[in-house]
């Protein structure tokens, strides 16, 4: 179980202190699939990075399976079973896809069959990719899919995916949603998926809407999805004012 208690994050800018996350409180039970959604700049990625330990909160506490992990490093949290896939994954010159999968699986050897299983889940063929370097020669969508495959190889208890749909073609996206569904069905892991995609939102046990650095709403897909749709149909208040003149 993951518990976020009064999470606060602020940064100091030339204009003064900017509150990015304001008193976030959440409890996420094991084996759930939770989708964080909400407007751009709402605070979703910052929150995910705080859970992974990439960003240190300025206030509050994070408990994972009852243990206070607030001051633990990324590596220590990874060892406890938390993993995070970046919205924009980094590239690693000189490291092959096979090296990355091996590192993620934490084993001494990883058979081609096993690599193939992970890569197939994101719509890639091991024959074409295992020996490729994860450098600029790979397309954005390929890097994104390889990173998701490395998270699957890590076999973590809590997997956080930051906009897994970004830059991914329709065929691979369909394969990926099937993979999420399967992990969820088999209760293999808890998943937090940051997404703007209707198809992923529909898979969720619960949707958490993060806006303005706060949990603006949370509930089941049936409860929240109509509200999101209604909200996104709203016009620009400035233009509406102009039009009514
Ligand atoms: N170190 C920082 N300094 C200044 N502003 C920051 C910093 N980190 C985050 N922000 C701001 O905090 C807000 C939340 O950013 P975040 O990346 O968490 O949003 P998001 O919900 O993931 O958005 P998106 O849907 O576009 O990915 C943004 O306005 C961002 O510019
Ligand atoms: Mg983001």
Instruction: Delimit the domains of the chain by residue range.
Output: 2-65+72-232
pLDDT for the residue 33: 97
Index of the ligand 1 atom closest to the CA of residue 47: 18
Give the rounded percent of residues in the chain with a pLDDT score beyond 70.
Answer: 94
Tokens 């709402």 belong to 42
Give the rounded percent of residues in the chain with a pLDDT score beyond 90.
Answer: 73
Confidence class of residue 8 from pLDDT cuts 50, 70 and 90?
very high
Q: Ligand 1: does its nearest atom lie under 6 Å from the Cβ of 146?
A: no
β partners of residue 4: 26, 62
d(CA 147, CA 159): 12
Say if pTM beats, i.e. exceeds, 0.85: yes
The preferred substitution site among 10, 44, 84 for testing ligand 1, maximizing ligand atoms within 8 Å of CB, is 44
For all residues of the chain together, what is the average pLDDT?
Answer: 91
pLDDT for the residue 108: 86
Instruction: Please tell me the distance between residue 199's alpha carbon and the centre of ligand 2 in angstroms.
Output: 18
Nearest-ligand number for the alpha carbon of 36? 1
Residue among 9, 21, 4, 19 nearest 61 (CA): 4
pLDDT for the residue 167: 87
pLDDT for the residue 175: 87
Q: Ligand 1: does its nearest atom lie under 6 Å from the Cβ of 88?
A: no
Cβ atoms of 28 and 22 within 8 Å: the answer is: no
Segment 32-51 shows an average pLDDT of 96
CA 105 to chain CA mean position, Å: 19
Segment 74-103 shows an average pLDDT of 92
pLDDT in tens, 192-211: 999 999 899 999 999 999 99
pLDDT for the residue 226: 84
pLDDT in tens, 94-126: 999 999 999 999 888 889 999 999 999 998 988
Tokens matching residue 195:
């997404």
Q: Tell whether domain 2-65+72-232 is in CATH 3.40.50.970.
A: no
Q: Ligand 1: does its nearest atom lie under 6 Å from the Cβ of 27?
A: no
| Residue nearest to ligand 1 atom 2, measured at CA | 11
Segment 59-87 shows an average pLDDT of 95
Taking each helix axis from N to C end, the angle separating 112-121 and 140-154, rounded to the nearest 10 degrees, works out to 120
Asked whether residue 234 carries a pLDDT value surpassing 70, the answer given is no
Asked whether residue 133 carries a pLDDT value surpassing 70, the answer given is yes
Segment 3-30 shows an average pLDDT of 96
pLDDT for the residue 35: 96
Segment 133-148 shows an average pLDDT of 92
Confidence class of residue 163 from pLDDT cuts 50, 70 and 90?
very high
DSSP secondary structure, 43-66, as one string: SHHHHHHHHHTSS--SEEEEEETT
Residue among 182, 188, 197, 202 nearest 158 (CA): 188
Instruction: Please tell me the distance between residue 46's alpha carbon and the centre of ligand 1 in angstroms.
Output: 6
């Amino acid at each position: 179980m993951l518990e976020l208690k009064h999470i606060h994050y602020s940064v100091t800018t030339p204009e003064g202190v900017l509150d990015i996350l304001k008193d976030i409180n959440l409890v996420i039970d094991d084996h759930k699939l939770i989708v964080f959604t909400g407007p751009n700049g709402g605070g979703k990625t910052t929150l995910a990075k705080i859970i992974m330990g990439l960003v240190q909160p300025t206030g509050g506490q994070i408990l994972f399976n009852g243990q206070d992990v607030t001051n633990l490093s990324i590596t220590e949290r990874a060892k406890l079973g938390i993993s995070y896939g970046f919205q924009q994954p980094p590239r690693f010159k000189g490291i092959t896809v096979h090296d990355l999968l091996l590192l993620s699986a934490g084993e001494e050897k990883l058979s081609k069959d096993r690599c193939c299983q992970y890569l197939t889940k994101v719509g890639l063929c091991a024959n074409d990719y295992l020996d490729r370097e994860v450098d600029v020669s790979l397309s954005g969508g390929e890097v994104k899919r390889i990173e998701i495959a490395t998270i699957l190889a890590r076999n973590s208890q809590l997997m956080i995916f930051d906009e897994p749909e970004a830059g991914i073609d329709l065929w691979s996206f369909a394969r990926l949603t099937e993979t999420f569904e399967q992990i969820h069905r088999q209760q293999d892991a808890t998943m937090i998926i940051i997404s703007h995609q209707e198809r992923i939102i529909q898979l969720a046990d619960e949707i958490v809407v993060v806006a303005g650095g706060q949990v603006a709403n949370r509930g089941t897909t049936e409860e929240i999805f109509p509200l999101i749709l209604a909200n996104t149909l709203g016009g620009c208040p400035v233009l509406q004012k102009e039009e009514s003149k």
